[in-house]
Structure 1
Amino acid sequence: MGPRPPHRGVPHPRARTIWYAVLLVALAVGSWGLYNRVFGGLATTDLTSTMPWGAWVAFYIYFVGLSAGAFLVSSLIYVFGMHQFERIGRAALLSAIVSMGVALCFIGADLGRMERAPITMIFFHWTSPLSWEVRFYVLYIALLVTELVIAIRVQRRLVRSVERAHRWMRILGTIGVPLAIFGVHGGTGTIFAVVKARAMWFGGLFPVIFVVSAMVSGTALLIAVHYWQARGAGRRPDRVLIRNLSTVLLAAVLIDLGLTFYEFVVPLLAFEHHDQNIITLQAFGPYAWTFWIIQMGMGMIIPAAIILSPLKKRTGAIVAAAMICVVGIVGVRFNIVVPPLIPPVIEGYPTGDYYPTLNEWLLSMFFIAGGALVYSLVSEWQPIHEPDPDDHAALAADRGEVPSVATAHTEKEALS
């Protein structure tokens, strides 16, 4: 063990001041939405008995997806040994923890009686996906925190055996991969997939779509986080890392695009009129702009086109594609939640109609800004973004050099 490496993740004073000022303003403005929700209840939203779910549930599954996707990227490092991504390992774990916390805030706000949320840990039913999901979340968060603590201790050289610490991280990551795929985000998709009364939810493909789009959003988020954190700290972003992550992002986007194709073409070819009604709403109804512009355009087509084009040689273009993709997946989640609730379940029942109120947007801003603030403070308190002292590849990238991944990894093993 050696001395703690110098802290290199604190942003420049000006960038730091601007960033925290923006977050504090967002929290101050959004706190009005929190006040209205606590004292005004769900009457401050556009939710009704016909439309019981809305923007908060969409953001809930969005941030669960960010968490699962970020964790799966970390598993490429700690489980599958893809050391070219090692520099963002701790950032991926912290992103997964914070995103999960934000997701739980959103679903808590959506509950009619928020104070009754802990009861879900007391009562359990074997056939309820929600009962299983609550317990999966607890295990998942505990695993993430444990793995992050070990990763930080390794980086700060506070462990007696680096090899033993890495072995524990591999074990935890190996447990976490099926937990994230089948329990956390796949399980969240199962909550929707077992609802027989709602077309476009009921089906076995739905949990798979959730997992793949989680990988899309999680990878895109980590590209953006690494780039802007490095720029804010006055460091050169790791161009090789960003390009490697863009390859993962492209693969996930193309798979997601293929699954979306089958999600729509199967009910159309089967002439399933309930599904066709919802597809028509998504493509030509009042939310068509969220489908074509945000979901398909920003979430899939534009990022894929940028990464496949010669623009991939420019780091800024890749980061722009990632940021566009992060926003686009919000549209995916919105279209999962809202359009299937609009057609009446029984003929003669009222048709649903929903658009988020100002209070829903304000509270959403409060939760998102709060998550960003927590992430920023922890990043300054702990070495989340700093390269390991013996990580020659990361240090060389800061100097503008690009050593081979194999050489860097060989050097790191020798120093360990």
Structure 2
Amino acid sequence: MASTNLTSIVPWGAWVAFYIYFVGLSAGAFLVSTLANVFEIGMMHRIDRDALFVAIISMAVALLFVWIDLGRMDRMYFPFFWRQLTSALSWEVHAYVAYIGILVTELYFSMRVDLARLATRFGGARGVLYRLLALGRVDTSEASKAFDQRWLKRAGIVGIPLAIFMVHGGTGVLFAVSKARPYWNSGLFPVIFIISALLSGTALVMIIYVLRTRLFDGEAVDPDLLDQLAKLLMGFIIIDAALTAIEALIAFASLHPHEVETWLVVLFGEMSWSFWWFMVGAAGCSPWSCSATDPGVEPRQ
């Protein structure tokens, strides 16, 4: 318990911190994928599968940390049998299940045609595996592609409010309703969670895209795509910083002892290293690092 900073005063330690971080990565990466699948921004189609795959893996890792934090892992099914309608955590558990269903559905429809091609190309166990992954749908006609695209978009439309209001916004609510924690107990806190998710998810998708393109595809990255993602990232950084500054100003202007004392600890006390080096410092690293001046990026014509 000590190694994860759990005490009688600190009920949530490192496992919950990691859980929050990975839920944010998942929600942010999913919302980035909707730029291609829902809003149909052309060049974003190059990273939609990366984003969906990252979203699924990040969510699985997040829930693994929750599973460990429970202590009694055999009780993980309790929220489904004994529901508490007034509990934000109870609602959150059900939202996670629905969200994972949306992610798997979108990834299936985005990959189904390629899986069908592989199923017809290979025989034996490999072909059977691809056929199973395609759920037996091996039709690659234009009509089947259009069907997949329609359902991909529909799943994305359903997933957007789910990711914003229930998955990571809802995770922020878990903290915001804690009246005993002045730093968390704020109406802006869930909004900051959503923006932070978009920020971290966009950054992760950029990294995955660059690594996949260079290490596996053997191609140069698309500078226009990276520039567009970098602009999004910069915008999210500015909004996140502005909301955090507003939170701090409200706390100091209130002159409430608990509010002021908490922010002094965060800014200048024992937690200042985390705030300045990681939250501010890491976010302040230029999102323009993957620009056209990068030797691995093709110069513009």
- Residue aligned with 1:126, SS: coil
1:253 corresponds in structure 2 to: 237
Q: Give the Å deviation of 1:155.
A: 4.0
2:281 paired with 1:297: yes
What is the CA–CA distance in structure 1 between the aligned matches of 2:19 and 2:93, rounded to whole Å?
Answer: 14
The aligned counterpart of 1:69 is 28
Distance 1:145 1:163 in 2: 19
Name the aligned partner's letter for residue 219 of structure 1.
T
| AA aligned opposite 2:36 | I
Q: Does 1:175 align with 2:119?
A: no
| Residue matched to 2:180 | 197
Q: What's the CA shift for 1:316?
A: 7.0
- 1:262 CA drift (Å): 0.6
Aligned amino acid, residue 70 of structure 1: A
- Give the Cα–Cα distance (whole angstroms) in 2 for the partners of residues 120 and 97 of structure 1: 22
Residue range with higher mean Cα deviation, 45-54 or 98-107: 45-54
Taking structure 1 as reference, are residues 199 and 60 closer, same or farther at Cα in structure 2, changes over 3 Å only?
same
CA distance in 2: counterparts of 1:314 and 1:256, whole angstroms:
27
- The reply to whether residue 163 of structure 1 matches residue 122 of structure 2 is no
Specify the code of the residue in structure 2 equivalent to 1:228: L
Tell whether the 8 Å contact from 2:163 to 2:169 is kept in structure 1 after alignment: yes
TM-score, normalised to structure 2, is 0.86
Of 68, 77, 101, the match for 1:142: 101
Q: Provide the C-alpha distance between the structure 1 equivalents of 2:42 and 2:88, rounded to a whole number of angstroms.
A: 36
Distance in 2 of aligned mates of 1:127 and 1:120: 12
Q: How many Å apart are 1:238 and its aligned residue?
A: 2.2
CA contact (8 A) 1:243 1:315 kept: no
Output one character per residue of 1:362-389: Cα deviation in whole Å (capped at 9) or x when no partner. xxxxxxxxxxxxxxxxxxxxxxxxxxxx
Computed over aligned residues only, the root mean square deviation of the Cα atoms, in angstroms, reads 2.1
- Is 2:213–2:221's contact at 8 Å kept on the other side of the alignment? yes
User: 2:195 aligned to 199, 203, 212, which one?
Assistant: 212
Match of 1:314 among 268, 284, 293: 293
Distance 1:316 1:126, change over 3 A: farther
Classify the secondary structure of the residue corresponding to 1:286: coil
Q: Does 1:120 align with 2:104?
A: no
Matches within 5 A, 1:44-59: 45-59=4-18
How far apart, in 2, do the equivalents of 1:315 and 1:45 lie? 39
- The amino acid across from 2:161 in the alignment is P
2:225 to 241, 254, 261: 241
Q: Any conservation in 2 of the 1:239–1:315 contact (CA below 8 Å)? A: no
> Is 1:154 matched with 2:121?
no
Aligned position for 2:122: none
Q: 1:269 to 1:67 in 2, by over 3 A?
A: same
Q: After the TM superposition, which residues 10-409 of structure 1 pair with which residues of structure 2 at under 5 Å, given as runs?
A: 42=1, 45-156=4-115, 158=138, 159-160=140-141, 161-233=144-216, 234-299=218-283, 301-303=284-286, 307=288, 312-315=291-294, 400=298
* Aligned positions, number: 276
Query: 1:38 corresponds to which residue?
Result: none
**Structure number with higher relative contact order (C-alpha < 8 Å, ≥ 6 residues apart):** 1
Q: Give the Cα–Cα distance (whole angstroms) in 2 for the partners of residues 71 and 231 of structure 1.
A: 23
| Residues 1:149 and 1:56: Cα distance change in structure 2 (over 3 Å) | same
- Report what 2:125 is aligned to: none
Partner deviation per Cα, 1:11-34 (whole Å, 9 max, x = no partner): xxxxxxxxxxxxxxxxxxxxxxxx
Q: TM-score, normalised by structure 1?
A: 0.63
* Whole-angstrom CA distance in 2 between matches of 1:197 and 1:45: 21
* Structure 1 gap ranges (5+): 1-41, 318-396, 404-416
Deviation at 1:44, TM superposition (A): 5.7
Q: In structure 2, how many angstroms separate the alpha carbons of the residues matched to 1:252 and 1:282?
A: 22
Deviation per CA, 1:44-94: give whole Å up to 9, x if none. 644122211121111100000000000000011111111211111111001
One-letter amino acid of the structure 1 residue matched with residue 238 of structure 2: L
Contact persistence 1:74–1:93 (CA under 8 A): yes
